[in-house]
Amino acid sequence: MPFVSKNNMLVSTINGTGAVIEAIYVLTFIIYAPKKEKAKFIGLLTLVLTTFAGVALVSLVVLHGKSREIFCGFAAAIFSIIMYGSPLSIMVRQVTLIFFTVYLLFLAEKRESYSL
């Protein structure tokens, strides 16, 4: 961002566009979600925004120069890994469930072949 380093218009544009698109996704979810899911999501959103504000505050108040660039770079890398890795956690559960189901079917078939 401009307060981290100079001459980064492309990065600012890409990140700003991504933030706007994700904000549209979030607002759409909040509008159409059931009340129970909406309350849970708003709690998580509050946690995320608080964490972001904390990172931005530390970056602006405590760090200066190169240390600010390094801190913001690491924060961006960590949050990007979390963002892209979170769907994988759901996929791991689903794949595990599929393999477990196939394994149980295989055991049931094996058991039937022994009883004949």
Digit-coded pLDDT (tens) for 62-102: 888 888 888 888 888 888 888 787 777 777 777 777 777 77
Of 45, 71, 21, 58, nearest to 13 by C-alpha is 21
Digit-coded pLDDT (tens) for 27-59: 898 888 888 888 888 898 899 889 889 988 888
In whole angstroms, what is the distance from residue 20 CA to residue 49 CA? 15
**Tokens for 42?**
């708003």
